[in-house]
Chains A and B, each alone.
Chain A
Amino acid sequence: MSELTLTVMRLGFLAVLWLFVIVAVQVIRSDLFGTRVTQRGSRREAGRQQQAPRQQAATPPPQRGQQSGGRRGRGAPTKLVVTEGTLTGTTVALQGQTITLGRAHDSTIVLDDDYASSRHARIYPDRDGQWIVEDLGSTNGTYLDRSRLTTPTPIPLGAPIRIGKTVIELRK
Chain B
Amino acid sequence: MSSTTNPPTHHTSTIGAIGAPSRRNTELALLVFAVVIPVFAYANVGLAIDGKVPAGLLAYGLGLALLAGVAHLVVRKFAPYADPLLLPLATLLNGLGLVAIWRLDQSKLLQQIHVAGGKATNQLLYTAMGIALFVAVLILLKDHRTLQRYTYISMATALVLLLLPLVPGLGADVYGAKIWISVGSFTIQPGEFAKIVLAVFFAGYLMVKRDALALASRRFMGMYLPRGRDLGPILVVWAISILILVFETDLGTSLLFFGMFVIMLYVATERTSWIVFGLLMSAVGAVGVASFEPHIQVRVQAWLDPMHEYVLSRTPGVTGVHSDQLQQALWAFGSGGTLGTGWGQGHSELIRFAANSDFIFATFGEELGLAGVMAILLVYGLIAERGIRTALAARDPFGKLLAVGLSGGFALQVFVVAGGVMGLIPLTGMTMPFLAYGGSSVIANWALIGILIRISDTARRPAPAPAANPDAEMTQVVRPS
Contacts and interface: CB of A to CB of B under 8 A. Distances in A.
Interface of A: 1, 5-7, 9-14, 16-18, 20-21, 23-25, 27-28, 31, 33-35, 49-50, 52-54, 59, 61-68, 86-87, 90, 92-93, 95-100, 104-110, 112, 114, 119, 122, 124-127, 129, 134, 136, 151-152
Contacts of A93: 20, 462-463
B475 A122 contact: yes
A-B CB proximity, top 3 nearest: A53-B19, A68-B8, A10-B342
30 contacts: A6-B48, A9-B44, A13-B37, A13-B40, A14-B340, A14-B368, A14-B372, A16-B36, A20-B33, A20-B375, A21-B378, A24-B30, A24-B379, A28-B389, A31-B84, A35-B392, A49-B21, A50-B20, A54-B20, A62-B18, A67-B8, A92-B464, A93-B463, A97-B463, A98-B12, A104-B468, A106-B467, A106-B468, A110-B396, A112-B207
Nearest to B214: A86
Interface stretch (B85-93, B168-176, B248-256, B412-420): B85-93
Nearest to B464: A108
A152 B11 CA distance: 13
Contacts of A10: 44, 339-343
Interface string B1-16: 0011111111111110
Given A33-B20, A34-B393, A54-B19, 17 more contacts: A10-B340, A12-B40, A13-B37, A17-B372, A21-B382, A27-B23, A34-B459, A35-B393, A35-B395, A59-B19, A61-B18, A63-B15, A65-B15, A96-B8, A98-B11, A124-B12, A125-B11
Interface residues of A, dominant DSSP: mixed
A69 B169 CA distance: 71
B26 interface: yes
A24 B44 contact: no
B457 to A, nearest CB: 11
Contact of B471 (A5, A59, A119): A119
Contact of B479 (A1, A33, A134): A134
A127 B467 contact: no
A33 B460 contact: yes
A155 B371 CA distance: 56
A63 B8 CA distance: 9
B129 to A, nearest CB: 26
B475 A136 contact: yes
Interface residues of B, number: 76
Contact of B468 (A59, A63, A87, A100): A100
B466 interface: yes
Contacts of B12: 97-98, 124
Contacts of A7: 342
B372 A100 contact: no
Given A6-B342, A33-B460, A50-B20, A17 B471 contact: no
Nearest to B210: A112
Given A9-B342, A33-B20, A34-B460, A23 B33 contact: yes
B375 A21 contact: yes
Interface string B166-187: 0000000000000000000000
B8 A129 contact: yes
A28 B467 contact: no
A129 to B, nearest CB: 7
Contacts of B393: 33-35
A126 B9 CA distance: 7
Nearest to A18: B375
A108 B395 CA distance: 8
Contacts of A99: 464, 466
A112 B378 CA distance: 34
B345 interface: yes
Contacts of B107: none
A1 B471 contact: no
Contact of A53 (B18, B47, B88, B460): B18
A14 B376 CA distance: 11
Contact of B3 (A28, A52, A62, A90): A62
Contacts of A136: 475
Given A1-B48, A13-B343, A134-B479, A31 B462 contact: no
Contacts of A13: 37, 40-41, 44, 342-343, 368, 372
